[in-house]
Chains A and B, each alone.
Chain A
Amino acid sequence: MREPTADFSVDRRRFLKGCAVLSFALVLRPGRTAAAAVTNAAFSPNAVLRIDPDGAIRIVMPHAEMGQGVYTGLAQILADELDADWSHVVAEHLDSLDPAFNHREWGVISTGASTSVSNQWQHLREVGATARAMLVEAAAQQWGVAADGLTTANSFVIDPARDRRLSYAELTATAAQLQPPTEVRLKTPDQFRLIGTDVPRLDARAKATGTATFGMDFTLPDMLQASIAHAPVFGATLKSFDASQAEVMPGVRKVVRIPSGVAVVADTFWQAKTAKDALELTWDDGAFADVSSATLWEEYATLAGTDGPVFERRGALAPAAAEVNLEGEFRLPFLAHAPMEPLNATARWGGAGLEIWSGTQFQGVDAGTLSAKLEIPVEQVRIHTLWLGGSFGRRAAPFSDFVLEAAQIAKASGLPNPIKLVWQREDDVQGGFYRPMALHRYRIGLDAARRPVNWEHRVVCASISKGTPFEAAFMHEGFDTLSIEGLRHTNYDVPNVEFVLHTTEHAVPVLWLRGEADSHTAPAVEGIMNRLAREAEQDPFAFRRSLLRETDMSKRIKGVLDALEAGAGWANSPPEGVYRGMAVHPSFGSVVGYVVELRKSDKRLDFHRVVAAVDCGRVVNPASVRAQIYSSVAFALSMAIGQKIEIANGRAVQSNFHDYTVARLSHVPDVEVHLVDNGLDHPTGVGEPGVPPFLPALAEAVHAATGQDVNAWPMTLDGYAFLAGGS
């Protein structure tokens, strides 16, 4: 999820109110956090941090690690201000709902919108600096000297004048007795030792040895496993079911009906799954059973041809000023997140309330939902966070679907055992909560000098936030910003602008997916800009520079354009047989641009080179930023080479990785990443902003190579094969 509006943090109260289930956020309820687990001699100045007498520096992670590298990045920030020895740093999963772990802007424990590092930046620095100041004070007391002559390095307080030192481990007991200072001085950037360096990931070893326990791997001695049958048609309801065969199958303990389906609880996953397949279910398919992708696109195209609510207007459309009008459209399909680890959660319902073990991005939201739906006080909900095997937004579930299902199954079963609900890949790919399908249609008037004077643009898209607890936060003047971000407030200065949003409704639930609205608005906006540059017979870099209005973001965009142009050697013509395209897009507070070069031989296109330029503000871990750009390119490339969810007879056509395309090693190019310093002193988003601009840069390279316009994703090329490996 994205930070919705500029006034969001001020308006948090409205957010919390809209999210009625979240009232618990105001209840102070420390669980087994670092602070609460203090042993006598440990020093824990904050719930986030505990320094043990053995020197271990334990940092409890306020955000979920789903691959984006936050555990390492967040630890780097705190450890740098603490002057900690990096080899002593241990990242710990959160297993508390203590508001100390709230997202600093959203006021609820949650991870999303590429904000983990940026929202914690100041706070974790203060935590680290405060602890450091207290350790210095502790040493000063032990030595009987003034604190201001002391320095710190690598988990030691040093007294340079008398050439002596004390380790943090030796100081924990004394420091624990001290009051934290009211003010601390943070480092200046030239004093950073960890921030800005390629610290290896803290989880690299566990993930190279198979020892990282994902939600899927969690187990308890008496744990049972569940498999669930969901409605195959979106919006269908269960009429009846016959479990007589399933109930007598080996290992089966219970068959339970919950609002979203019928679940089988058994000793092992395979037993549960086999018995679930033996259930006989009768569904009332409902009205959506007649819907297909074709009928949806027809509806979207009709809407795109009609007037609708205007979310942005500048100037007044001046048809007379246009010599030529360019028209076109872009179509982007539903997309499933398909995180590598299928969705799952373990729930234990009993005496002390509800206990959950899961990889979720939304602990705070989930706790509120569980409390409301299962009618227990939120104080009786406990959530243990585990490693997330990917998410891309799917594990930030506004209705907490998979976590709630696990809890409902545990409760309905009447069993005291913890029960792990495991979704099959098919449940995930066919279960909705997709990136919404979107249609963009535009008409642009060019004056005699081939400059755009009028820009009419219509977006047709379903609302993500409508009907969720986040509606109030994301709706802006009646428009869901999650449908139009990346188009609204465009930095391109066209004098007369009219942007329309048609909000559709259908039974397919939709959700934020990595790149969010920008994943469809950037291909549209940058696709348009590339076309306009061609029409004006201008270089695409020069054309963009001339069209950017004067904003702070435009300055950063220009900085990225400069770095990209230089990094890609754009001034030189590409080699024989190589064709190129570029695009740049600001999102999640950052700016990313790409140059994509394709090699054409016969009727085949392959990557020649991909160059990226990235301004994500202050860089905490350059290697991590590069890795996220590699990752973003692979993620976006999947969207180009075949990835889509189609609807037929009201259900998803694709079901698993054999027909839901994901780019593989043979498809994915090496990417050359240039980090751009435009002087921003704090970090901005990294996980998502690399996704949106890749598609339009690729599209332009394809156009250069083939003369074909890419108007729909995934691409279909007439007479050309893209990538040797095919899709």
Chain B
Amino acid sequence: MARNLHVNGRVHEVEASDDTPLLWVLRDHLGLTGTKYGCGVMACGACTVLVDGEPVRTCVMPVSGFTEAQSITTIEGLPGADEDPVQKAWTEHSVAQCGYCQSGMIMAAHALLAKQPEPSDADVEQAMTNICRCGTYQLVRVAIRQAAKEMRDA
């Protein structure tokens, strides 16, 4: 059925069955392919977006559970590598290898830094449970520290 979703600051009308996970609505209906499919069972975090600022794994969340009142932010809705401290740090440190997990990583990092401007190592470990099969974790830690600092200094 048709419904309205508020994605990246715009209201989109989408026509999808109720059980379609938000992930596939974003990818196949709205063409927002920055959000990735990695497992489909909420185990990897590749599909992470922000819903009202909270990190949500969208691969198992039926679109029927979302309303126009919720603000959904995908990687495409972030300010970009020149403006966004997280994306900037990711770019400067060449964090990505294959890059497939990184949209989800970046969204999770955003959610963390919004809550904890000065996260401890343990905070980072707890918040960043996304799988990176390329093992970029060491540089993810470096980039989060840099982004956190830049956000605090701003």
Q: Do A and B bind each other?
A: yes
**Which residues of A line the B interface, CB within 8 A?**
65-69, 200-201, 203-214, 216-217, 219, 225, 250, 268-271, 274, 338-342, 387-392, 422, 424-425, 623-624, 627, 630-635, 656-658, 662-666, 668, 670-671, 725
Distance A658 CA – B131 CA, assembled complex (angstroms): 11
Interface centre among A200, A207, A424 (most CB of B within 10 A): A207
* A225-B28 Cα distance, complex, nearest whole Å: 10
Complex: chain B residue closest to A337, CB-CB: B133
Neighbour of A208 across the interface among B24, B36, B96, CB < 8 A:
B96
Interface string of B57-88 (1 = CB under 8 A from A): 00000000000000000111010110000010
Q: Contacts A216-B37, A340-B101, A390-B100 known; A657 to B44 CB distance under 8 Å?
A: yes
Q: Are A725 and B97 in contact (CB under 8 A)?
A: no
* Contact present for B98 and A213 (CB under 8 Å): no
Cα distance, A207 to B98, chains bound together (Å): 8
In the bound complex, residues from chain B placing their C-beta under 8 Å from that of A216 are 33, 36-37
Q: Shortest CB–CB separation between residue B107 and chain A, in angstroms?
A: 10
Nearest CB in chain A: distance from B129 CB, A: 6
Q: How far is the CB of A275 from chain B (nearest CB, A)?
A: 12
Q: Is B111 an interface residue (CB 8 A)?
A: no
**In the complex, chain B residues whose CB is within 8 Å of the CB of A392:** 133
Given A214-B99, A630-B139, A725-B125: 19 more A-B contacts, CB < 8 Å: A204-B95, A207-B102, A210-B34, A210-B74, A213-B33, A268-B28, A340-B101, A342-B37, A425-B41, A627-B139, A630-B137, A631-B97, A657-B44, A658-B41, A665-B129, A665-B140, A666-B125, A666-B129, A668-B135
Q: A665 touches which one: B99, B102, B125 (CB < 8 A)?
A: B125
Min CB distance A609 to B, Å, is 13
For B37, what are the chain A residues with a Cβ–Cβ distance below 8 Å? 216, 269, 342, 422
A-B contact count (CB 8 A): 190
Q: Which residues of B contact A69 (CB under 8 A)?
A: 97
Provide the residues of chain A in CB contact with B131, threshold 8 Å.
340, 657, 662, 664
A665 in contact with B40 (CB, 8 Å):
no
- CB pair A656 B95 closer than 8 Å: no
Q: What are 25 A-to-B residue pairs whose CB atoms are below 8 Å?
A: A67-B98, A203-B96, A208-B96, A213-B33, A214-B99, A217-B33, A219-B33, A268-B24, A268-B29, A338-B133, A340-B36, A340-B98, A340-B101, A341-B36, A342-B38, A389-B100, A390-B98, A627-B139, A630-B137, A633-B135, A656-B39, A657-B44, A665-B124, A666-B128, A670-B138
A668 (CB) vs chain B CBs: closest residue:
B137
Does residue B4 face the partner (Cβ distance < 8 Å to A)?
no
- Are A634 and B38 in contact, CB atoms less than 8 angstroms apart? no
Query: Across the interface, which residues of A come within 8 angstroms of B96, CB to CB?
Result: 67, 201, 203-204, 207-208
Most buried by B among A67, A211, A392, A630: A67
- Please name all residues of chain B whose beta carbon is closer than 8 Å to the beta carbon of A225 when the two chains form the complex: 28
Which of the listed residues A209, A271, A624, A632 has the most CB atoms from chain B within 10 Å of its own CB? A209
Shortest distance from the beta carbon of B109 to any chain A beta carbon, whole Å: 11
Report B-chain residues with C-beta under 8 Å of the C-beta of A338.
133
Contacts of A388 in B (CB 8 A): 98
Pairwise interchain contact A67-B134, C-beta atoms closer than 8 A:
yes
Contact A205 B36 (CB under 8 A): no
Closest CB pairs A-B (n = 9): A210-B34, A634-B135, A207-B99, A389-B100, A67-B98, A67-B97, A210-B75, A207-B96, A217-B33
- Chain B residues near A205: list those with CB within 8 A: 81, 91
Q: Is the CB of A209 within 8 A of B46?
A: no
A210 to B39, CA, bound (A): 18
Residues of chain A within 8 A of B134, CB atoms compared: 67, 340, 390, 631, 634
The verdict on B13 contacting chain A, using a C-beta distance below 8 Å, is no
A633 to B76, CA, bound (A): 31
Structural contact, A340 and B34, CB atoms closer than 8 A: no
Which chain A residues lie closer than 8 Å to B92 at the CB level?
Answer: 200, 204
* CB of A267 to closest CB in B, whole Å: 8
| Contact residues in B for A635 (Cβ distance below 8 Å) | 133, 135
In the complex, the answer to whether B28 meets A208 with C-beta atoms within 8 Å is no
Which residue on B lies nearest to A391, using beta carbons?
B98
Nearest CB of chain B from residue A111's CB, rounded to whole Å: 13
Please report whether the interface of chain A is mostly helix, strand, loop or mixed according to DSSP: loop
Q: Which of A270, A387, A670 has the largest count of B CB atoms less than 10 A from its CB?
A: A270
- Say yes or no: is B21 at the interface (Cβ < 8 Å to chain A): yes
Contact partners of B133 in chain A: CB under 8 A: 338-340, 390, 392, 635, 662
A208-B102, A268-B29, A270-B21 known; A634 vs B137 contact (CB < 8 Å) = yes
State whether A340 touches B100 (Cβ < 8 A): yes
Given A627-B139, A632-B135, A204-B91 contact (CB < 8 Å): yes
Q: Which residues of A contact B98 (CB under 8 A)?
A: 65-67, 339-341, 387-391
Number of interface residues of B (CB under 8 A): 60
Q: How far is the CA of A391 from the CA of B100 in the complex (A)?
A: 11
B99 near A212 with CB under 8 A, answer: yes
Chain A residues lying within 8 Å of B36, measured Cβ to Cβ, are 214, 216, 340-341, 389
Once bound together, how far apart are the Cα atoms of A623 and B96, in whole Å? 12
Report whether B135 and A210 are in contact in the complex, using a CB–CB cutoff of 8 Å.
Answer: no
Q: Type the 1/0 row for B19-38, where 1 means its CB is closer than 8 Å to any CB of A.
A: 11100100111010111111
Task: Contact check, B135 vs A656: say whether CB atoms are below 8 A apart.
Answer: no
Distance to closest chain B CB from A599 (angstroms): 15
Residues on B with C-beta less than 8 A from A65 are 98
| 1/0 contact string of B118-148 vs chain A (CB within 8 Å) | 0000001110111111111111110000000
Chain B residue with the shortest CB-CB distance to A72: B94
Q: Across the interface, which residues of B come within 8 angstroms of A67, CB to CB? A: 96-99, 134
Q: A201-B94, A268-B24, A631-B97 are known contacts. Are A208 and B138 too (CB-CB below 8 A)? A: no
Distance (Å) between the CB of A114 and the closest chain B CB?
A: 14
Chain B: CB-nearest residue to A424: B40
A204-B90, A340-B131, A657-B39 given; A627·B97 CB < 8 A:
yes
- Bound CA–CA A391/B97 (angstroms): 11
Of B28, B31, B92, B96, most A-chain CB atoms within 10 Å: B96
Q: Is the Cβ of A631 less than 8 Å from the Cβ of B135?
A: yes
**B125: which A residues are within 8 A, CB to CB?**
665-666, 725
B116: interface (CB < 8 Å): no
* Contact indicator B87/A630 (Cβ below 8 Å): no
Chain B residue with Cβ nearest A250? B17
Determine whether B106 belongs to the interface, using a CB cutoff of 8 Å to chain A: yes
Q: Which residues of B contact A209 (CB under 8 A)?
A: 34, 75-76, 78, 80-81, 87
Q: Are A627 and B28 in contact (CB under 8 A)?
A: no
Distance in Å from the Cβ of B50 to the closest Cβ of chain A? 13
Q: How far is the CB of B12 from chain A (nearest CB, A)?
A: 15
**Chain B, residue nearest A65 (CB):** B98
Question: Which A residues are in CB contact (< 8 Å) with B43?
Answer: 656-658
> Considering only CB atoms, which chain A residue lies closest to B88 in the complex?
A208
A338 to B97 alpha-carbon distance, docked (Å): 15
Residue in A66, A205, A225 whose Cβ sees the most chain B Cβ within 10 Å: A205
Contact B81–A208 (Cβ < 8 Å): yes
Whether the Cβ atoms of B135 and A657 lie closer than 8 Å is no
A68 to B103, alpha carbons, bound, how many Å?
18
Interface string of B39-55 (1 = CB under 8 A from A): 11101101000000000
Residue of A nearest to B43 (CB): A657
A630 to B137, CA, bound (A): 8
Bound form: Cα–Cα A388–B134 in Å: 12
Task: Tell me the bound Cα distance from A502 to B70 in angstroms.
Answer: 61
Contact of A657 among B27, B41, B137 (CB under 8 A): B41
Beyond A203-B96, A627-B94, A668-B138, whether A340 also contacts B87 by CB under 8 A is no
Q: Bound state CA distance, A341 and B104, in angstroms?
A: 13
Which one of A201, A338, A665 has the greatest number of beta carbons of chain B within 10 Å? A665
Residues on the B chain within 8 Å of A671, using CB: 138
- CA A72 – CA B43 in complex, angstroms? 31
Closest A residue to B31 using CB positions: A219
Q: Which residues of A contact B33 (CB under 8 A)?
A: 210, 213, 216-217, 219
A66 to B94, CA, bound (A): 14
A204-B95, A339-B98, A662-B131 are known contacts. Are A269 and B46 too (CB-CB below 8 A)?
no
